[in-house]
Structure 1
Amino acid sequence: MPEFIEPDLIRARFCHALSEMYRDEVPLYGDLVSLVDEINEASCSLANDDQDESADIDHDDHNDHNDHNEHNEHNEHDDHDDHDDQGGRGTGASERRRANADRIQVERHGAIRVGKASELRMLARLFKLMGMVPVGYYDLSTSGLPVHATAFRPVSTRSLARNPFRIFTSLLRLDLIPDISLRGTISSILDARDIFHPDLPRLVIRGEERGGLDANGATLLVQYALQTFRWHEESLVDPQTYDRFKACHPLVADIAAFKGPHINHLTPRVLDIDRAQAGMEARGITPKTLIEGPPKRRCPILLRQTSFKAISERIRFKHTSSISGHRARFGEIESRGVALTPKGHALYTTLMETAARRSREINPTNEAHQALLTDVFRAFPDDWETLRSEGLAYFEYTPTPDSDAMTTKAKSTSSALSIDDLVRCGAVGFSPITYEDFLPASAAGIFQSNLDENARSTGHHEDGGDAEPNVHGSADAHAARKVFEMALGGEVLDYMELYRAQERASIEKVLAAL
């Protein structure tokens, strides 16, 4: 019986190899990683001295490690990525900090765009061998983008702690291309191309049939997968066809005019994204105008993202010596907060809609935008206990060191103790569950701000003006999701249910123990 390599380790190796490749292809990505490392180290020092507020959920859980050390990529800690916000009331605080430091140092997400169902389905099978499954359905057509997407990622707390690498994967929606003739041209080009190494499908089948890959198979899988994600400067089309694609939508050109779905961006996690935004400008790296997502808070929620502007890369057209530039690949950074419940998401959405309406009245600068968000989000509680008690966010519960004594004392007045009773008496601590997924509006804003044209951010130009999308979403989002899942070859998981199950499991474990 062959000895299989764990999917977590294959995923870590692929993440490392992809990061090295992207650093070579887009040198500014390396500059961005250096900036992120500096900010994370400085943020950690300030937090340890109690001189700074948290800008990321794991703000004080970071220390300095080599970004490309494979030991760190395959973190041996099994603790979840939690922030010990209860001042040590939960158990294993120091262990969590060590695990979080390792995780954040190697944490990345990537993004690719594919053109047809068979490409998406093979990617799903490939990623499954790396321990990554499709989580969440994102309809970006509502923001004027002719794609819908999912995120392939690990789902268990153990795998997330080892390496939380994610790939946001978009599929072109030909039904949103209004020109029937152009739609046919795109289909013909996509039907003729094969984005995978010729040996990769056989290797995937072997891994599926045997239930895993041995050392040689794992090495080959990483090598073959890199070929799919590599930049190819040779276009599949002539200049005129490329221009037609781009006139329809820049994403159409990016998806259908090339040999494969080059990695679109690779994103490290930063502990203070506001410093990163300013740091890019100080280093001569042009950032997008606005940081996407909620404002900076004492208790971070969901996801905040920014990026530097897409670089122009040389392309050589088919059947001609003509050379031009293609602008689509960029560098992104993100900070992550607590996962919100449906109630919390509803409040978040309402406040973001309010901010969008009021944004028409302010100067289109990031400073003004963040000030507006901060004002609007005063209506969103900003302390962990209120977020927990009002059911706005998800938390993981653990016994405190004094849990036995506290529980005995509490039971002297009541034999049936709820999780709230145990928290109040000090027997149980709680930690925020990190949001591992994406926000459709933020993803669309990042994409739009890095296209040559149609630079729109959730309905507005970055200069503050209104923008009318030139690609309209389907009236039946449910039907679109079903089409996506048929292309995928299975259903996408509901990330809300994943967070709910994680919280529920921790409560059941605590109640059983106490």
Structure 2
Amino acid sequence: MPTVSTDAIRTRFSAAMSAMYRDEVPLYGDLLSIVADVNDRVLADRPALQAELRAAGELDRLGVERHGAIRLATAAELAMMRRAFAVMGMWPVGYYDLSVAGVPVHSTAFRAVDDAALAANPFRVFTSLLRLDLIEDAALRAEAAAILAERRIFTDMGVRLIERAEAQGGLDDDEADRFVAELLETFRWHGDARVDAATYDRLNAAHRLIADIVSFRGPHINHLTPRTLDIDAAQAEMQARGIKAKAVIEGPPPRAVPILLRQTSFKAIEEDVTFPGDQAGQHTARFGEIEQRGAALTPKGRALYDRLLEQARGGSQGSHAERLAAAFAAFPDTMEAMRTAGLAYFRYTLTDADGAAITGGDLDDWIAAGHVRATPIIYEDFLPVSAAGIFQSNLGSDEQRSYGASAAQAAFEAALGAAVADEFALYANLEARSIAQVRTALRRAAA
């Protein structure tokens, strides 16, 4: 039976999601316009960057790149969502415990994992699971569990198509389109609450994310994020257009060589909701986010990053931006310095067509001679501190609390029905494969 590739299904779904979210949250359309304008200017002003992105296979994916975020309520929802994302070639990568930052969820990122799939479409969804155990009020905790036990977020046809894809190894063209349409219903906003206003208020008092997850029919997409090449310019443009943007960009400071992930957003919008009995109300949860992605860091690089970030956060002199810039002066800011220090992962490719010009030496010699190019591998994942910062800024300052240290990854994976992949291992494998491909090409040239 002819099947549609998982990459193609992922592309269809991300495009359909983007169209739906633009209808639901018109400001998202403004973000897309801002990001497109900024990216066009950056590429026009920096032809070397454009050539680098094209050589790395990054240019074509830039305009379609999105990441979404959803919040699930139960283990059954998470397990079925894992199966749904698998139909699109997306797998759980990394574990994020946001409870230590005062957000009662833990999360993973569903995304493509190999070079070809990422180049085709790097759509990713940051997927959180509610920690009911963190609701301190036992009666409210039991009430929330009872409400969620009755919730069904997938359509019957959607589940049947997931099962069909698993049984027959994929979907044909018509089935793929139907799967996208059915799964889209899971992510759609529904303004009719499943709980009465009094219950909503009690859930909201416990935590706004708890109310957002428990009170509604499904895990409405709460942001859909395009990728910019200059987040500082995008932030300034948001403010110039009167969009209420975050005051602080989450993540590392501006650098010559971007690292990891920088994020900003406009504040969550107020949406009309209807409670049982036709009682009107408002709910605040969904917002607009923009991100800039840089080099994926090795464990050594990440340890340095975390230490410098903590140093900046713990300082008292100057603004946050000034403390951040001062702390990160200790992080090398050239590709070669980062590479030789083992701080980031790189992809290696031959600059010569067949490698015949290379005689002897090792990888560093070949790079120095210009025979091999080293380009940073783009970070495809997320930062817990940044994610929590974005969440908190859209929840209000009254939500700054801490649930204490937690180590719940085993429980999360049990709910998921699978282990999450180690993101460091994925980047290391990408780097190792690129080196192996260079060496194989050189052996062939020498034969």
Q: Structures share a fold, TM > 0.5? A: yes
In 2: Cα distance, 1:388 partner to 1:114 partner = 39
Match among 393, 404, 407 for residue 472 of structure 1: 404
- Deviation track 1:366-392 (CA, whole Å, cap 9, x = no partner) reads xx4323212211100001111001100
In 2: Cα distance, 1:489 partner to 1:173 partner = 17
User: For the Cα contact (< 8 Å) 2:11–2:121, is it kept in 1?
Assistant: yes
Q: Does 1:3 align with 2:7?
A: no
Q: Classify the secondary structure of the residue corresponding to 2:94.
A: strand
User: For the Cα contact (< 8 Å) 1:250–1:452, is it kept in 2?
Assistant: no
TM-score, length-normalised on structure 2?
0.96
Q: Does 1:280 align with 2:238?
A: yes
- Deviation track 1:148-189 (CA, whole Å, cap 9, x = no partner) reads 000000011001001000000000011111111111001001
Specify the alignment match of 2:206 in structure 1: 248
Specify the alignment match of 1:441 in structure 2: 385
Q: Classify the secondary structure of the residue corresponding to 1:291.
A: coil
Q: Please list every run of at least 4 consecutive aligned residues from structure 1 whose deviation after the TM superposition is greater than 4 angstroms.
A: none
Structure 1 position 470, deviation (Å): 4.8
Specify the alignment match of 1:29 in structure 2: 28
- The residue type paired with residue 365 of structure 2 is D
In 2: Cα distance, 1:39 partner to 1:426 partner = 32
CA 1:390–1:234: 2 relative to 1, 3 Å: same
User: For the Cα contact (< 8 Å) 2:91–2:111, is it kept in 1?
Assistant: yes
In 1: Cα distance, 2:402 partner to 2:63 partner = 39
User: For the Cα contact (< 8 Å) 2:250–2:386, is it kept in 1?
Assistant: yes
In 2: Cα distance, 1:5 partner to 1:404 partner = 37
Structure 1 position 453, deviation (Å): 5.1
Specify the alignment match of 2:445 in structure 1: none
Q: Please give the residue correspondences for 1:287-306 in structure 2 after superposition, counting only pairs within 5 Å.
A: 287-306=245-264
Structure 1 position 512, deviation (Å): 2.5
In 2: Cα distance, 1:152 partner to 1:216 partner = 24
Structure 1 position 401, deviation (Å): 1.5
In 2: Cα distance, 1:348 partner to 1:114 partner = 30
User: For the Cα contact (< 8 Å) 1:419–1:511, is it kept in 2?
Assistant: no
In 1: Cα distance, 2:298 partner to 2:171 partner = 37
In 2: Cα distance, 1:453 partner to 1:169 partner = 23
CA 1:350–1:314: 2 relative to 1, 3 Å: same
- Deviation track 1:254-299 (CA, whole Å, cap 9, x = no partner) reads 0001000000100000111001111111101000111000011111
Q: Please give the residue correspondences for 1:458-497 in structure 2 after superposition, counting only pairs within 5 Å.
A: 469-474=401-406, 477=407, 480-497=408-425
CA RMSD between the two structures:
1.5
Specify the alignment match of 2:280 in structure 1: 323
TM-score, length-normalised on structure 1?
0.84
Q: Please give the residue correspondences for 1:247-396 in structure 2 after superposition, counting only pairs within 5 Å.
A: 247-318=205-276, 320-358=277-315, 360-362=316-318, 368-396=319-347
Specify the alignment match of 1:54 in structure 2: none
In 1: Cα distance, 2:305 partner to 2:404 partner = 25
Structure 1 position 436, deviation (Å): 0.4
What is the percent sequence identity of the aligned residues? 53
User: For the Cα contact (< 8 Å) 1:402–1:427, is it kept in 2?
Assistant: no
Unaligned runs of at least 5 residues, structure 1: 51-58, 62-82, 85-93, 363-367, 412-416, 457-468
In 2: Cα distance, 1:402 partner to 1:268 partner = 34
In 1: Cα distance, 2:98 partner to 2:224 partner = 19
User: For the Cα contact (< 8 Å) 1:114–1:120, is it kept in 2?
Assistant: yes
Specify the alignment match of 2:151 in structure 1: 193
Q: Classify the secondary structure of the residue corresponding to 1:246.
A: helix
Q: Classify the secondary structure of the residue corresponding to 2:29.
A: helix
- Deviation track 1:399-422 (CA, whole Å, cap 9, x = no partner) reads 2217745522xx3xxxxx432232
- Deviation track 1:50-104 (CA, whole Å, cap 9, x = no partner) reads 7xxxxxxxx535xxxxxxxxxxxxxxxxxxxxx36xxxxxxxxx554xx422200
- The residue type paired with residue 137 of structure 2 is D
Specify the alignment match of 1:68 in structure 2: none
Specify the alignment match of 1:71 in structure 2: none
Q: Please give the residue correspondences for 1:12-411 in structure 2 after superposition, counting only pairs within 5 Å.
A: 12-48=11-47, 59-60=49-50, 83=52, 96=56, 99-318=57-276, 320-358=277-315, 360-362=316-318, 368-401=319-352, 404=355, 406-408=357-359, 411=360
Unaligned runs of at least 5 residues, structure 2: 443-447
Q: Does 1:507 align with 2:438?
A: no
Specify the alignment match of 1:70 in structure 2: none
In 2: Cα distance, 1:228 partner to 1:429 partner = 44
In 1: Cα distance, 2:252 partner to 2:404 partner = 26
